[in-house]
């Protein structure tokens, strides 16, 4: 006689169920609330908040500045991080000391880093003081009349603050590269730069992929550094969510801008994964 009764879930499902519930409560519910704030009004579904966002001239300026920041900052960070990791790979004297010095910015908050660089670029800051000592007049680096120098100040601050994250990921990736490949290439006459290009960097691809996705998403979320240095004179997307939510008391438009940031982050991550995968398959 066949046994009847309710089927019990597989053991694997029971084991991951608490994690699924936790992740749903932590991420999915806020996402649903955010989408509701951006797309649902008192009378039902609406695009009024999206139109209000698009009609705001600060939104387009913020989008342009954020995109430009990513385009300029990410290549610089990866170039510096890879160069520092390659230097550390050669095991110089006091290598551990160099490593800890380079990762110090990881322990500094965004706002604190912005205030540090504010003391450098402000009108009576260290940079103008040094110029004055050699007989050069100071410059209003952070004035709204000088958007180029404002942008450069934000790039330098973010470069100092966040390159260490890429550096740590690259160093961790290099730990997993067998030295046999590098030594074999050297035996067959490959130069140092040929070994870097054809041996080390291809094996670093997974680490670089992770670092690229993380840094792009975090660059999209740049806020405190720019806020400390420039206020709203150099608007960025996350800064506009703060303005709409806290200053203009409009959480709906703020949620709409947050959805734009989320969409761009997801598209960037998917694009990086697709690009890396296609290059790997081609090779």
220-271 pLDDT, tens digit each: 888 889 999 998 889 999 999 999 988 888 899 999 999 999 999 888 888 8
pLDDT at 257: 93
Q: What percent of the chain has pLDDT over 70?
A: 94
Task: Select, from the ranges 21-25, 176-180, 192-196, 263-267, the one with the highest average predicted confidence (pLDDT).
Answer: 263-267
Lowest mean pLDDT among 1-5, 61-65, 226-230, 240-244: 1-5
Structure tokens at 33: 């609330």
Give the chain's radius of gyration (CA, Å).
Answer: 24
3-state secondary structure of 8: coil
The arithmetic mean of pLDDT across residues 9-19, rounded, is: 78
Q: Is the pLDDT of residue 279 over 70?
A: no
Q: Is the pLDDT of residue 1 over 50?
A: no
- CA torsion 113-218-84-105 (nearest 10°) is 20
* Cα 80 → chain centroid: 15
Q: Where are the domains of the chain?
A: 60-110+154-282
Give the separation between CA 206 and CA 203, rounded to whole angstroms. Answer: 7
Query: Any idea which fold 60-110+154-282 has?
Result: MetI-like fold (1.10.3720)
Structure tokens at 197: 């290009």
Q: Is the pLDDT of residue 283 over 80?
A: no
pLDDT at 144: 87
The arithmetic mean of pLDDT across residues 141-167, rounded, is: 91
Q: Is the pLDDT of residue 164 over 50?
A: yes
Sign of CA dihedral 252, 253, 256, 257: negative
Q: What is the mean pLDDT of the chain?
A: 85
Q: Is the pLDDT of residue 84 over 50?
A: yes
Give the separation between CA 166 and CA 210, rounded to whole angstroms. Answer: 9
Give the separation between CA 142 and CA 212, rounded to whole angstroms. Answer: 29
Give the separation between CA 52 and CA 108, rounded to whole angstroms. Answer: 36
Q: Is the pLDDT of residue 77 over 80?
A: yes
Sign of CA dihedral 89, 91, 94, 96: positive
Residue owning tokens 């999209």: 220
3-state secondary structure of 117: helix
Q: Is the pLDDT of residue 195 over 90?
A: no
Q: Is the pLDDT of residue 73 over 90?
A: yes
Task: Select, from the ranges 76-80, 132-136, 204-208, 278-282, the one with the highest average predicted confidence (pLDDT).
Answer: 76-80
CB 265 within 8 A of CB 217: yes
- CA torsion 43-44-49-51 (nearest 10°) is -100
Give the separation between CA 102 and CA 84, rounded to whole angstroms. Answer: 9
The arithmetic mean of pLDDT across residues 26-35, rounded, is: 84
| Angle subtended at Cα 58 by Cα 55 and Cα 60, rounded to the nearest 5 degrees | 70
Give the separation between CA 140 and CA 233, rounded to whole angstroms. Answer: 13
CB 75 within 8 A of CB 155: no
pLDDT at 188: 77
The arithmetic mean of pLDDT across residues 30-38, rounded, is: 86
Structure tokens at 156: 């330098």
Q: What percent of the chain has pLDDT over 90?
A: 29
Q: Is the pLDDT of residue 181 over 80?
A: no
């Amino acid at each position: 006689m066949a046994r009847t009764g309710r089927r019990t879930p597989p053991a694997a499902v029971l084991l991951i169920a608490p994690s699924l519930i936790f992740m749903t409560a932590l991420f999915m519910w806020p996402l649903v609330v955010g989408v509701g704030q951006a797309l649902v009004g008192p009378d039902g579904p609406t695009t009024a908040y999206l139109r209000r966002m698009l009609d705001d001239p600060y939104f387009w300026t913020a989008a342009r500045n954020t995109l430009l920041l990513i385009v300029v900052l990410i290549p610089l960070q990866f170039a510096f991080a890879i160069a520092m990791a390659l230097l550390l790979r050669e095991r110089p004297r006091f290598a551990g000391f160099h490593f800890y010095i380079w990762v110090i910015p990881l322990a500094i908050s965004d706002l604190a880093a912005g205030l540090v660089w504010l003391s450098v670029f402000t009108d009576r800051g260290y940079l103008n003081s040094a110029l004055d000592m050699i007989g050069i007049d100071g410059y209003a680096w952070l004035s709204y009349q000088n958007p180029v120098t404002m942008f450069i100040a934000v790039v330098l601050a973010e470069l100092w603050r966040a390159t260490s994250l890429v550096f740590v990921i690259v160093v961790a990736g290099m730990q997993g590269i067998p030295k046999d490949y590098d030594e074999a290439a050297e035996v067959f006459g490959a130069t140092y730069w040929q070994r870097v290009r054809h041996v080390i960097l291809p094996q670093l691809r997974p680490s670089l992929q992770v670092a690229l996705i993380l840094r792009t998403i975090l660059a999209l979320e740049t806020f405190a550094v720019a806020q400390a240095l420039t206020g709203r004179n150099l608007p960025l997307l996350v800064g506009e969510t703060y303005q709409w939510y806290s200053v203009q008391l409009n959480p709906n438009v703020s949620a709409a801008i947050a959805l734009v940031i989320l969409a761009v982050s997801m598209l960037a991550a998917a694009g990086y994964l697709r690009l890396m995968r296609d290059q790997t398959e081609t090779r």
